[in-house]
Structure 1
């Protein structure tokens, strides 16, 4: 297998453009997809240890995961919650469900500690045996309705599930050492099953999905033992987990440039490998047409509230239909046979735009699993920014001019280019965007403006070089210690060009949703439904294999762009 150095990768100016990042789609390398593949490949065994719920579905449940030689437990607590107290904000302190993923065997003492602390979430005390902490609320649209239908012997209404394809919606999923839990260094070395980024968090959401289905079935049986039915497997697969995400996710992309670079470069290596293939034969073209039809149906079954997102989905549907027709034309296919997939992607971008191109790229991934899937093991990275203090300052200046020209081209003297600031709300405990012209709090600005930092560092270097032309980086930093973070970032990221987002996060016309979509695409979420420019609802694991499927000989990847079952 090749390495990235032997391939022609797309330039960072294209890949890391903020607008294009907002067009990213889930792929075979998304964390939900890689988790499900591992679960099937390694024959993970999940068994119910305890299911102690009352007539209303309140109580606790415990599931044991046996993944090779490793054992884990998923523990979930269900408590009554008044409708008026149910909301998705980080500042909430009561939820329908709270849960934890725990490594190893579960003793009575450990379970008692979890009972006391997991329902408290951030206010509780965890230990290094806990890998993930999460909470969720029932869907106001789906939960009670599905219970009622099951109780009367009916299956859930698939048409309704197209609108809200989940029973519960997670409002936070915590891992990586927060609140006393096991740190990432412990997880990646001691928990082989969850050694890739966010796999423990994704498994927790997968188990929440399973529990939510068992919970509604249980309540239905208690309501009407004589008529209640269980959820049909084909419908259960279509039920996912809801998620609400706001600006809290955005700072991660800025604060972890090394990790983001690793994520992006694996996608780019996968794409480059595929573009080197010359087998654009009829079977692969037919498969691509079939996938495009699937995308069309998926988008037609996706309900969103924002007009601009509806418009984007309609434009993408039109592009898919046009490309399906093109792939049936002999002359067009002859060009693909001679020119390969590069010809196709170039045509798609020229005629249908970059959003369609990003979509077709991830569909091509499905045609070459042997070229893509091995890259999932390279998604982890140590977040470390190194300093070369012995570099000449002139060399550093050249690096800035070469690799950060996009930042230096921004005119921060224009008030519209320096209009917004990021801060953390003490009341809401979440990142927020403020307007410098009218909002207080700019003095508490979060250090997320990489482009502005580069501009300020560059200007300071030029002034310093005027008097010290032969100086080293160390000389500059002694005089300007406030520039240390920027210098370390620049020196490190020049070798990792896919780590810095090429956009101005203080621009008045900033679209924060682009940041959220980029990260969520790596998670693998679907049904992207922006509720404003600042937060979005989406669906996780819709269409994925259910626990009963894991022991079967099945394709663990046939759930991309899920479509409603036909009963």
Structure 2
């Protein structure tokens, strides 16, 4: 079933932005989380379906070492986050993928773990890649403390005082995950094993549930250590301060190629978001409740932008632009909408396209969706993908048809001169040590012979040139039998004919390409906030900041 049949609204098509506008790296790298994000989708589901949460196991000693279990019970199944807390020497704390020890390690267990399960997991989960989990586990993750804030919070709570709000705002989390693995890694359940479960069918729902329960753990262990140190003097976190704490995440280049390797999934994510924006723009009037919701969201966005900090020069400039844009937007909507204005949301969007930076435009997109849940939330059901179906090649297609399709859908690629060094300066490869994606300099480093097929623009150019040497009526199957090296790109070219948002329309091996643009786009779909690059290949973000905790859903399940 496709997205249109799930959520019919044909009049929105006229308002949809074209891929040539949406799928450029500069715009993708300005993406903001929306109400269609995977973590917001998770929270809507657990509320709607009446999930309950508790903590049946808390075996953490006075030094903060031990294990705990957080249980999430839905209508049909139960999932349990099994957490292990460790005594990590400061000199061993590292966010790099090559780290071998962490402050805490986790797995999301399918069901209620027995004592034997916990013992098995305790022997393996703390080892992460060096251990082994089973198909009963859905994810494997680890986290490190934000040392300064973690210590500050414990000290203050132990003294019977609340932490300094400025310190909390400056960091935004007590711990940050450095990896959250799922989909069959290290023995965990394959995606196919859980994809048909309604609660996990949407993208990354197991991972989001794991991180959300981890957020609860980060607060629980801080309060536990404060109580151990301060005794009767210790207090718990003020609810408002607690609400402002998310789970941090530190992620590097390994995340960047995902969007390129999953073109149908990328299309569906983008299509859902673009359809949502088009639906809002297609509204003939702005209802008072929606206008009020938009104004509230704008106030919150300005507050978030004021707190959002970065030390990376590119991000500093983008944050400056965002703050200016949000101020300009607030001024513009002071007396908006005029009573006689038709399609007021579209008029506001078109004003934003003319008046705001890319950063401001994508922030405006998120703001426009926020008060329109009834109109757009159903589109979250359209964001998964059956990639096996799309994998099949149509060998009966003629060479001429595919060549013409390339000229239409890959015009941005065919115009690139790859003989210019700056247009072929990079190459993607997989590191032997950690089997993680890496980016090399073609003219300064060895390894280009092991290049991964992420240079889509160049592959499209090469395929188009090769097709030109064959008679147009030739079946594609005959061409590919003679030139199997083009199968990969031929398949992608056929996918794009049916999935218009499937390709990043930029040169991914250009000297000026910024991997963080790919990372920010993906992280925005997760629901990440406070995007803070530390380079063009490494970023820190926060998840679930400002949103409820599991204990807020089931207050009686906690001690």
Q: Which residue of 2 aligns with 1:288?
A: 294
Q: Which residue of 1 aligns with 2:154?
A: 147
The alpha carbon displacement at 1:7 in A equals 2.0
2:316 and 2:427 map into 1 onto residues whose CA distance is: 29
1:342 aligns with 2:349: no
2:358 to 354, 358, 362: 354
Q: Which residue of 1 aligns with 2:485?
A: 482
The alpha carbon displacement at 1:431 in A equals 2.0
1:138 aligns with 2:136: no
The alpha carbon displacement at 1:308 in A equals 2.6
Trace 1:24-423 onto structure 2 (pairs within 5 A).
24-189=31-196, 191-280=197-286, 284-329=290-335, 333-334=337-338, 337-384=341-388, 385-423=391-429
> Contact 1:44/1:67 (CA < 8 Å) preserved in 2?
yes
Q: Which residue of 1 aligns with 2:3?
A: none
2:457 to 429, 432, 451: 451
Q: TM-score, normalised by structure 1?
A: 0.93
2:340 and 2:24 map into 1 onto residues whose CA distance is: 28
> Contact 2:173/2:246 (CA < 8 Å) preserved in 1?
yes
> Contact 2:53/2:553 (CA < 8 Å) preserved in 1?
no
1:462 aligns with 2:468: yes
1:4 and 1:149 map into 2 onto residues whose CA distance is: 56
Q: Any idea what SS the aligned residue of 1:391 has?
A: coil
The alpha carbon displacement at 1:342 in A equals 1.5
> Contact 1:40/1:551 (CA < 8 Å) preserved in 2?
no
1:491 to 484, 490, 494: 494
> Contact 2:105/2:142 (CA < 8 Å) preserved in 1?
yes
2:340 and 2:497 map into 1 onto residues whose CA distance is: 36
Q: Which residue of 2 aligns with 1:565?
A: none
Q: TM-score, normalised by structure 2?
A: 0.95
Q: Which residue of 2 aligns with 1:562?
A: none
Q: Which residue of 2 aligns with 1:433?
A: 439
> Contact 2:430/2:437 (CA < 8 Å) preserved in 1?
yes
Q: Any idea what SS the aligned residue of 1:505 has?
A: coil
With 347-356 and 194-203 compared, the bigger mean Cα shift is at 347-356
Question: Deviation per CA, 1:295-354, whole angstroms, max 9, x where unpaired?
Answer: 11111111211233122112111111122112124xx63288224211111111111233
> Contact 2:124/2:131 (CA < 8 Å) preserved in 1?
yes
1:283 and 1:209 map into 2 onto residues whose CA distance is: 32
Q: Which residue of 1 aligns with 2:527?
A: 524
2:29 to 19, 22, 25: 22
Tell me how large the CA RMSD over aligned residues is.
1.7
Question: Deviation per CA, 1:477-499, whole angstroms, max 9, x where unpaired?
Answer: 11101111111111122110101
Q: Any idea what SS the aligned residue of 2:231 has?
A: coil
Q: Which residue of 2 aligns with 1:555?
A: none
The alpha carbon displacement at 1:128 in A equals 1.1
The alpha carbon displacement at 1:549 in A equals 2.2
User: Compared with structure 1, are the counterparts of its residues 138 and 277 closer, same or farther at alpha carbon in structure 2 (3 Å cutoff)?
Assistant: same
With 40-49 and 166-175 compared, the bigger mean Cα shift is at 40-49
> Contact 1:288/1:364 (CA < 8 Å) preserved in 2?
yes
> Contact 2:106/2:140 (CA < 8 Å) preserved in 1?
yes
> Contact 2:293/2:370 (CA < 8 Å) preserved in 1?
no
The alpha carbon displacement at 1:469 in A equals 4.6
May I ask how many residue pairs the two structures share in their alignment? 546
1:540 aligns with 2:555: no
